[in-house]
Amino acid sequence: MSKRIEINDLDVYYGAFKAVEGVSLEIEPRSVTAFIGPSGCGKSTVLRTINRMHEVIAGAYVDGEILLDGANLYGPGVDPVNVRRQIGMVFQRPNPFPTMTIRENVLAGVLLNNRRMSKSDQDDLVERSLRGANLWNEVKDRLGIPGSGLSGGQQQRLCIARAIAVSPDVLLMDEPCSALDPISTLAIEDLIEELKQEYTIVIVTHNMQQASRVSDKTAFFNIAGTGKPGKLIEYDETTKMFSNPSVQSTEDYVSGRFG
Amino acid sequence: MTTTTSAPAPARRQAENPLTAGQLPTWSPWAILGGALLVGAAIAALVAGASGSRFSIVATAVIGFILYLVAITVVSQLIEGGRKATDRLVTGVVTGAFLLALIPLVSLVVTVIANGMHRFDVEFFTYTMRNIVGEGGGVLHAIVGTLLVTLWAAIISVPVGIFTAIYLVEYGKGRLSQAITFFVDVMTGIPSIVAGLFAYALFALFAGEGVRSGFGGAVALSLLMIPTVVRSTEEMLKLVPNDLREASLALGVPKWLTIAKVVLPTALAGIVTGVTLAIARVIGETAPLLIIAGFTTNMNYNVFDGRMMTLPVFAYNQYVSPGVQEQAYFDRAWTAALVLILIVMLLNIVARLIAHFFAPKAGR
Amino acid sequence: MTTAAPAATTRAAAPNRPADVIFKAVSTTAGVLILLALAGVAIFLVAQAVPALIGPLPEDDSFWAWVWPLTFGTLWSSFLAMLMAVPIAIAIALFITHYAPRRVASVLGYAIDLLAAIPSVIYGLWGIAVLAPFMQPAYTWLAQNLGWIPLFTPPASGTGRTILTAAIVLAVMVLPIITALCREIFLQTPRLNEEASLALGATRWEMIRMAVLPHGRSGIIASSILGLGRALGETMAVAMVLASAGAVTFVVVGSQNPSTIAANIALRFPEAHGITVNMLIGSGLVLFAITLLVNAISRWIIAKTTVDGGR
């Protein structure tokens, strides 16, 4: 279920603007990798290239390759739709579909793709996904209410349930807790710890403590200045990154001396 | 500015609040207005008595209003100074302009209802004008015609309009979408009579000179309806947060299913509202239908062949070319106008209700 | 979507899903259809108008000599209507946005919007049955007492169905259009500007003059021109209210009124045949050109301000 990601010499462009330059890193299966760095350093951009969501922005393209268990996501003839079915994503702000109930939201990925499914299979999938997202006990009696009726933290867990319902191999999280209160944040962090058993997780975060709490490895991105492309500065075990980084600017950043 | 007019502080109830000094009390404009209207009425009565005409409420209102403007400005100028006086004058003028604009609306509604009630009966809705000279008859053929023509106009313009909006919002870039945006703007400016001429010119090509058909009317109306549908749908699609599109795409849903199952349902209430308002707009169109659908006294269920009466054309035709027993024709025209207004109002209310109740609720 | 990556990364050329291709094709076709329809409008109208433009006409010397009085009437009646409608529309918009109590304001706005929804044929009925008789005594008085002004040269119309009455009906019809747009613009006045002038001790009117009107100036112009476009093309109300004689005159209270292009088409088309049809379509083309020009100017002003003005 969990796959290994290998990024080789990745450049990302928005039109003529080079947003990210020369990123290479390897992400192990069943691990949590955190992307940290100041705003605008390209960490979210790199995250979005992993399931080709950056292509939603007109004029964006990449140079380089990203391998999922050895298969190039940017190889000739690869359909981004298939890529996204294997690599799920959770966004900064919770975004449940407002016209759908909780149950329909969880099933969205499966049903939107016009796949037929028996009622009992659907029930199983809903329960499994919501349990996986630690939301089942809170919503099991009101699966029929609109997803937008939940609290912010519950909505975000609903979005996670929606993402894991299509059984992806990788789960990308783009600052999943930035719009949430501390208690909901803790709930999501606990959930990430559990999801690690089954999925490869990549998370972008602005919160140093969060990165050090949840991740196994950490990648630090930085930019030389506005208009310059973002670069991967250092990538290592999280414990090492936060205690004894090998690059000076990493130490400055994690110790809060800048950014 | 409201704070300065508040009551004196309780602690110094007796003493004059220095903040309200040199200021007219709040009731004074009303008092001046009342006085001005009384004087206006007196003058109007005098003039009416002198010239032997009837006492005029209009004259009372006009004279009273002008007197009020003069009086409030002068009084305020003396007590409060020039700046405040100007402010009071403008307040009076602006309010007066608003009330003036309400007069035609009220007069129109009252006239249509009063005159339209005469023939608001069962016969009116169950008979056509076939073989009717003078009294009696009804608008069944015109109602059927209006419904059929509008239905066909909707059948043409709703899909075209919605898909064009989808193209503009979801796919459009570059020259083509710019051109379409520009020409949709151009279309909103087409006078309705020109739309009628176009439909005539188009159908005359196939059917020869003097062609008349309900479907031609539908084509003309859709020319007027499409830009409205495109614009409102476009607005609604733009309101759908990008988060939702991304959420769906990230689940590996192809783009067309994302649009069909996520974007459109989210915007549905707004789109339906827009379409309803567009229908309300064209259902009262007269000029293009006069040109291409023509008029007849008989029932015609076939939009593709022959003249077809519609409600607005019926009202027009009855009023401008009455036969013997004029009043019967005028009554029918007014009742047709009343029915038309009721239909338009109903559509407007339905549109608002849809917008109100079916719009997806935001969080909380 | 799959074409987002340009030639720089040719290897990203993915297979297009058939459903995606079909859906996109349908949407694009709908858009192109609109372009074709408009091209059709232009081509068919020109084709039908050509015989009148070149050919010999039964009565008049040339097409242009025939269409000129109508064009004059169209412009003159719309001008009179705008003269009345624009100041009142601005006043109404100000009243709704800055004078009326908040809770009443939206209801009032809705009442004004209702005016826009009423079909033009009903305005015509109202104009002919209520407004014309109501105005007639005023016209008689004007012609008797102010007859030396060229606008009010006697004799006055006996029915009240003059170009001024038609212009009043037109003014009532375009009022809601202009008001609605001005209302939007006035509501968008930056809060900070309004509060800044109030904090300086400005009265409400001074605040409006300092903050609201400067911010809304181009919007007022654009919405007025949009209303003008509507007035120029209005057919039924004018056709019903105006008793026209095809004259070219500035007198607004007499019985010798110029007609308008749109009203003339509506009145004569049902009985027209032969070259008359071509002449009427030709005049429609002239009307189309005028409204196109007017709307283009208004769009240009709106586009210019949204680029410059920002918010």
The 10s digit of each residue's pLDDT in A103-140 is 988 998 888 776 778 889 999 999 999 988 889 999 99
The answer for residues whose C-beta is within 8 angstroms of residue B46's C-beta and 6 or more apart is: none
- Report pLDDT for B7: 46
- CB < 8 Å to B189, chain C: 229, 233, 291-292, 294-295
Write the residue in C4, C8, C13 that is nearest to A55 by C-beta: C4
| Residue spans of alpha helices (H) in B117-241 | 122-126, 140-166, 174-188, 192-207, 214-239
- Report pLDDT for B362: 44
Residue A54 pLDDT > 80: yes
What does the pLDDT look like over A74-87, one tens digit per residue? Answer: 888 888 888 888 89
What does the pLDDT look like over C88-123, one tens digit per residue? Answer: 999 999 998 888 887 888 788 777 777 788 898 999
- Report pLDDT for C208: 86
- Report pLDDT for B312: 92
For C3-30, give the DSSP string. Answer: T-S-GGGGGG-PPPPHHHHHHHHHHHHH
Label residue C4 by pLDDT band (50, 70, 90): very low
3-state secondary structure A96-119: CCCCCEHHHHHHHHHHHCCCCCCH
What does the pLDDT look like over B4-20, one tens digit per residue? Answer: 444 444 444 445 566 66
Check if B253 contacts A (Cβ < 8 Å). Answer: yes
Chain B segment 1-40 residues within 8 A of C by beta carbon are 1
The token duo for B240 is 């759908």
Asked if A113's CB is within 8 angstroms of B252's CB, the reply is yes
Residue B115 pLDDT > 50: yes
ipTM of predicted assembly, 2 dp = 0.83
To the nearest whole Å, the CA of C28 is away from the closest chain A CA by 18
Check if B262 contacts A (Cβ < 8 Å). Answer: yes
Write the residue in B188, B194, B285 that is nearest to C288 by C-beta: B194
Q: Are strands A170-174 and A71-72 parallel, antiparallel or unpaired?
A: unpaired
What is the residue whose two structure tokens read 């080789």? Answer: A8
Give the helix/strand (H/E) hosting B353. Answer: helix B326-358
Q: Is C221 exposed, middle or buried (0-12, 13-18, 19+ CB in 10 A)?
A: middle
Calculate helix-pair angle for C261-268, C63-94, nearest 10 degrees: 120
Residue A146 pLDDT > 90: no
pLDDT higher at C289 or C222: C289
**What three-state secondary structure class fits B43?**
helix
Check if A56 contacts C (Cβ < 8 Å). Answer: yes
Q: What is the mean pLDDT of residues B261-289?
A: 89
Q: What is the mean pLDDT of residues C239-258?
A: 81
A210, A211, A213, A218: CA torsion to nearest 10:
180
What does the pLDDT look like over A1-15, one tens digit per residue? Answer: 678 999 999 999 988
Write the residue in A60, A61, A77 that is nearest to C15 by C-beta: A77
What does the pLDDT look like over B21-56, one tens digit per residue? Answer: 667 777 778 888 888 888 888 887 887 777 766 677
pLDDT higher at C102 or C1: C102
- Report pLDDT for B203: 87
Check if C17 contacts B (Cβ < 8 Å). Answer: yes
- CB < 8 Å to C265, chain B: 193, 197, 287, 291
HSE (CB half, 13 Å, CA atoms) of B44?
19
Chains with 3 or more CB pairs under 8 A to chain A: B, C
- Report pLDDT for B180: 92
Q: Is B22 left (phi over 0), alpha (psi -120 to 50) or beta?
A: left
Label residue A219 by pLDDT band (50, 70, 90): very high
- CB < 8 Å to C13, chain A: 76-77
Which range, of B82-86, B257-261, C175-179, averages the lowest pLDDT?
Answer: B82-86
Label residue B234 by pLDDT band (50, 70, 90): very high
What does the pLDDT look like over A60-72, one tens digit per residue? Answer: 889 999 999 888 9
Label residue C309 by pLDDT band (50, 70, 90): very low
The token duo for B321 is 């070319």
Cα–Cα distance measured from residue A155 to residue B155, given in angstroms and rounded to the nearest whole number: 40
Check if B350 contacts C (Cβ < 8 Å). Answer: no
What does the pLDDT look like over C37-62, one tens digit per residue? Answer: 889 888 888 888 888 888 777 766 78
Q: Give the chain B residue whose CA is nearest to the CA of A109.
A: B251
Cα–Cα distance measured from residue B86 to residue B96, given in angstroms and rounded to the nearest whole number: 15
Cα–Cα distance measured from residue B89 to residue B91, given in angstroms and rounded to the nearest whole number: 5
Residue C6 pLDDT > 60: no
For chain C, give the DSSP string. Answer: -TT-S-GGGGGG-PPPPHHHHHHHHHHHHHHHHHHHHHHHHHHHHHHHHHHHHHSPPSSSS-HHHHHHHHHHHHHHHHHHHHHHHHHHHHHHHHIIIIIS-HHHHHHHHHHHHHHHHS-HHHHHHHIIIIIHHHHHHHHHHHHHHSTTSGGGPSSPPSS--SHHHHHHHHHHHHHHHHHHHHHHHHHTS-HHHHHHHHHTT--HHHHIIIIIHHHHHHHHHHHHHHHHHHHHH--HHHHHH--B-------SSSS-B---HHHHHHHHGGG--THHHHHHHHHHHHHHHHHHHHHHHHHHHHHHHHHHH--
Asked if C6's CB is within 8 angstroms of A79's CB, the reply is no
Residue B326 pLDDT > 90: no
- Report pLDDT for B21: 61
Cα–Cα distance measured from residue C288 to residue C301, given in angstroms and rounded to the nearest whole number: 20
Q: What is the mean pLDDT of residues B198-227?
A: 88
Q: What is the mean pLDDT of residues A166-185?
A: 88
Cα–Cα distance measured from residue B38 to residue B43, given in angstroms and rounded to the nearest whole number: 9
Residue C197 pLDDT > 50: yes
- Report pLDDT for A94: 87
Average confidence score pLDDT of chain A: 88
Residue C132 has φ and ψ, to the nearest 5°, of -60, -50
8-state DSSP, B9: P
The answer for residues whose C-beta is within 8 angstroms of residue B176's C-beta and 6 or more apart is: C28, C31, C32
- Report pLDDT for B52: 65
Asked if A74's CB is within 8 angstroms of C1's CB, the reply is no
What is the residue whose two structure tokens read 């084509």? Answer: B219
Q: What angle do CA A212, A135, A115 make, to 5 degrees?
A: 110
Label residue B148 by pLDDT band (50, 70, 90): very high
To the nearest whole Å, the CA of A17 is away from the closest chain B CA by 19
Chains with 3 or more CB pairs under 8 A to chain C: A, B
- Report pLDDT for C26: 92
Q: How many angstroms from the chain centroid is the CA of residue B77? A: 41
Q: Is A31 left (phi over 0), alpha (psi -120 to 50) or beta?
A: beta
Chains with 3 or more CB pairs under 8 A to chain B: A, C
